[in-house]
Structure 1
Amino acid sequence: MINQDTIVALATPSGAGAIAIIRLSGKDAIGFVESQFKSVSGKQLSKQDTHTIHLGHIIEGNRTIDEVLVSVFKNPNSYTGENVVEISCHGSNYIQQEIIQLFLRQGCRMATAGEFTLRAFLNGKLDLSQAEAVADLISSDNEASHQIAMQQMRGGFSSEIAKLREELLNFASLIELELDFAEEDVEFADRTQFKDLVERITFVLKRLIDSFAVGNVIKNGIPVAIVGEPNVGKSTLLNALLNEERAIVSEIAGTTRDTIEDEISIGGIGFRFIDTAGIRDTKDVVESIGIKKTFEKIEQAQVVVYLFDASESGDFDTIQLEIEKIKNKYPQKAILIIANKVDKLSKDKMNELDVTLSAVERSHYVLLSAKQRVGVEELKNKLLSFVNTGALRNNDTIVTNSRHYDSLLKAFEEIDKVKSGLESGLSGDLLAIDIRQALFYFGEITGEITNDDLLGNIFANFCIGK
């Protein structure tokens, strides 16, 4: 399946910049570049050591295209496991295309999306979960997602799975051996040790499966819907959180007609805030559409921030009833109650409000003034408390990939069948069937078991040049 041709692609983002990097990989990569490269010291690239950099010019006939730095990585000590050359040229779009077109005319082929990493996988430089972590690392936009991607790219997740798979494979071999001596009625696989192994695998699989809830949040960010009646300060709060004038603010009720979204990182976790239209009865057609979208966004959000104007709320019992309605309508969602404009309250009123909100069952609340930026940091800390980041702090393995999650669930199901079979004294031939299936799902994660469709789906999501 490994192509023997040499591929070329731009490895840096397209567009003009200070420098650009053009990458080639394949058996003839060094030869292709050597034929078009004139070193300032007269060196031949093919005779140079691996992991060296050389100054010179890319030429075509008598024409000099650019002064460049050429980095040489010889197989097998390269990212792809093949000969790799990286050309650092000036970042002009014209120069980039001239160099790429030059090598295409020489016989190189344009790389497809993720083909460099695919070759690294096929050449045994990375397993499949590590290769997928490369894409996650490129797309990471906060500290937490970056940390997880780095951990997985270094093999933290796959090495744990590979070790369990190897131990299970050893027992599977012994059970398969028993089948060859069925008439002698012998047991090569110690059932007590096998039960201990199955218990250990069950524990690890459950931990990894449970970690997906946190991992998915860290990878994709947490959608937070800011809801409430018109003119309670939702847009002002969004601006305070983002520390910029992102949403239009006015005294006119119903100013926000559509949802406004933006994302910030809090404690290394991405939160995507959604400022929604104020909820009220209205005959305005456009505002009605905005309110309809508000309820759609609440359904999509993982956290609902319910905002009310504390300075306009003389009857706190009514507020308590409204909060209960929200919590009853969305029982599965984390609800955070925000009493806004508390800067307009007297000290006694503030204490009364605090007592009222603390009496609401399972209530998370913050007293703040979005306009004065008072209480915003406490709000951020409350939001962060909704995310279980303990595993991240302890450097535990966290699953973020839905494909891995699906395979882990299926492996857990098969291991559970093996566990039940052992407890009921199931025969070795029937145990072997479930063990084989568990091994299959383990192998899907790390790439011991793959097919062209699976690889095509995974690497099609990569950028070209990686």
Structure 2
Amino acid sequence: MILNDTIVALATPSGAGAVAIVRVSGPDAIDVVANVFESIKNKDLRKQKTHTLHLGYIKDGDKIIDQVLVSLFKGTNSYTGEPTVEISCHGSAFIQQQIIQLLLRKGCRMATAGEFTMRSFLNGKMDLSQAEAVADLIASDNEASHQIAMQQMRGGFSNEISKLREELLNFASLIELELDFSEEDVEFADRTAFRDLVSRIQFVLKRLIDSFAVGNVIKNGIPVAIVGEPNVGKSTLLNALLNEERAIVSAIAGTTRDTIEDELVIDGIGFRFIDTAGIRETKDVVESIGIQKTFEKIEQAQLVLFLVENSRAKDLEGLKREIEEIKNKYPLKALLVIMNKMDLLSETEISNLTSNISNLILISAKQKVGIEELKGQLLGLVNTGALRNNETIITNTRHYDSLIKALEEIQKVQYGLDMNISADLMAIDIRQALFFFGEITGQVTNDELLGNIFANFCIGK
């Protein structure tokens, strides 16, 4: 891993735009840029103060490439913790490449994916969980995922873990000290205080682990399958939810022969709706393939919207049996039963339906009646209390895995305390717990782990 050279990359999206930013970072960043930059006031970049802006021209010999604005960050006062220059140029793709190629010829190296953020981590500007939050912030596409990424990037999660690790480390030191005086049979670590700490660590770890269910939903969205017989209004419902004509609507049964997917964000939570082919017996080869895909999508979904037509109000017993069959077939999936075309039902039929089928949602997809209530029901299936209370929420699978392993080791420590086992055996479990804590924040790491994490970043960040 090379850390003492100077790297360059485009920090804004590739392609034409109004403005583009070329980022240069490394020990020679200011010297390299100073050699190709001509200030309109004849300033030498090397002699300017940090965090200043300078207008001038990027020149390749006597040839002017572009008029630019240069941002200067000296010493460790930068995102990467090393001298950094950001060149704001006009957004022509040709100009961007000309500037980058010039800097490469002057001694820079093209940055790899995430290398600027990796240097920030290695130079102590942020810990590993904060660095990963940078990628999550860039990828955030709704308010909830943005809020979580910002909280983690500002150190909310890592501060909580670091504090627990520090307290555990203090006790670990005392336990290790006891081993040096094992023959004297002395205890330096207050076992009562240690029990309290172990209990508190278990409580925090369990809360963080439980938050992953919500965090994963917020980060990746909830896949929702809309299923039912042909021509009950599945495509009309999808269009009503999305408020656009996304799916083809026709009175001809079997119109939807392939799955149609689109996403809707409700109060910051993403729902990925899948409009499936109607389930029925058919000899049509293409439609049969679509129905097979319907069952595949139900397997992939976390939530199933079972849509039935108003005519089923006359066969309540049959409808209840069908609902039970779906629940038994997919016991781990949340199920919402929706009856369409409620505008054609009498008040007596509506009363009979709601008293016989619990939590039934009545809508008119065509008239867009009951759609907001349906959205509320969808949101109610997601526990957003932690998000509203600004609690730490885990969205990263690597963090989740390390927390699970840390909890297992802490539970072994708890067992050791309860069984009054020797300090040397307890010390092994404590060291392992500290190791998994350190994996989260990057206090324990290796090149392979860093490579895997930062490989998913975009170039220029």
TM-score (norm 2): 0.99
Other-structure match for 2:376 = 381
Q: What's the secondary structure of 2:258's corresponding residue? A: coil
Aligned-partner Cα distance in 1 for 2:16–2:312: 54
C-alpha offsets along residues 251-275 of structure 1, whole Å, 9 cap, x if unaligned? 0101011111111110111111010
Write out aligned runs for 1:127-138 (5 A).
127-138=127-138
Q: What's the secondary structure of 2:95's corresponding residue? A: helix
Other-structure match for 2:407 = 412
Other-structure match for 2:86 = 86
Write out aligned runs for 1:236-275 (5 A).
236-275=236-275
Other-structure match for 1:462 = 457
Other-structure match for 2:436 = 441
Other-structure match for 1:361 = none
8 Å CA contact 2:313–2:349 kept in 1: the answer is no
Q: What's the secondary structure of 1:67's corresponding residue? A: strand
Q: What's the secondary structure of 1:463's corresponding residue? A: coil
Other-structure match for 1:225 = 225
Write out aligned runs for 1:364-379 (5 A).
364-379=359-374
C-alpha offsets along residues 94-128 of structure 1, whole Å, 9 cap, x if unaligned? 01111111101111000000000000000000100
Other-structure match for 2:419 = 424
Other-structure match for 2:9 = 9
Aligned-partner Cα distance in 1 for 2:11–2:264: 28
8 Å CA contact 2:39–2:54 kept in 1: the answer is yes
Q: Which amino acid aligns with 1:180?
A: D
8 Å CA contact 1:310–1:340 kept in 2: the answer is yes
Corresponding position: 1:340 with 2:340: yes
Aligned-partner Cα distance in 1 for 2:45–2:378: 55
Aligned-partner Cα distance in 2 for 1:196–1:352: 56
Q: Which amino acid aligns with 2:209?
A: I
8 Å CA contact 1:311–1:344 kept in 2: the answer is no
- Segments of 4+ moved more than 4 angstroms: none
Write out aligned runs for 1:272-421 (5 A).
272-311=272-311, 313-358=313-358, 364-421=359-416
Write out aligned runs for 1:68-147 (5 A).
68-147=68-147
Aligned-partner Cα distance in 1 for 2:192–2:312: 69
Please state how far the C-alpha of 1:46 moved relative to its aligned partner.
Answer: 1.4
Aligned-partner Cα distance in 1 for 2:373–2:53: 51
Please state how far the C-alpha of 1:351 moved relative to its aligned partner.
Answer: 2.1
**Identical counterparts, % of pairs:** 75
Aligned-partner Cα distance in 2 for 1:321–1:275: 23
8 Å CA contact 1:228–1:307 kept in 2: the answer is yes
8 Å CA contact 1:31–1:46 kept in 2: the answer is yes
Please state how far the C-alpha of 1:459 moved relative to its aligned partner.
Answer: 0.3
C-alpha offsets along residues 53-82 of structure 1, whole Å, 9 cap, x if unaligned? 111111111111111111111121100001
8 Å CA contact 2:406–2:437 kept in 1: the answer is yes
Q: Which amino acid aligns with 1:290?
A: G
1:125–1:2 distance in 2 versus 1, CA, 3 Å? farther
Aligned-partner Cα distance in 2 for 1:365–1:109: 62
- Structure 2 residues without counterparts, runs of 5 or longer: none
Please state how far the C-alpha of 1:2 moved relative to its aligned partner.
Answer: 5.2
Aligned-partner Cα distance in 2 for 1:343–1:11: 54
Write out aligned runs for 1:141-180 (5 A).
141-180=141-180
Aligned-partner Cα distance in 2 for 1:177–1:201: 22
Q: What's the secondary structure of 1:219's corresponding residue? A: helix
Q: Which amino acid aligns with 1:325?
A: E
Aligned-partner Cα distance in 2 for 1:39–1:311: 78
Please state how far the C-alpha of 1:387 moved relative to its aligned partner.
Answer: 0.3
Please state how far the C-alpha of 1:356 moved relative to its aligned partner.
Answer: 2.5
How many pairs were matched up?
461
C-alpha offsets along residues 202-257 of structure 1, whole Å, 9 cap, x if unaligned? 11011111111111111110110000001000011111111111111100101011
8 Å CA contact 1:2–1:122 kept in 2: the answer is no
Q: Which amino acid aligns with 2:289?
A: I
8 Å CA contact 2:312–2:319 kept in 1: the answer is no
Other-structure match for 1:201 = 201
Please state how far the C-alpha of 1:312 moved relative to its aligned partner.
Answer: 5.7
8 Å CA contact 1:311–1:342 kept in 2: the answer is no
Aligned-partner Cα distance in 2 for 1:228–1:242: 19
Q: Which amino acid aligns with 2:3?
A: N
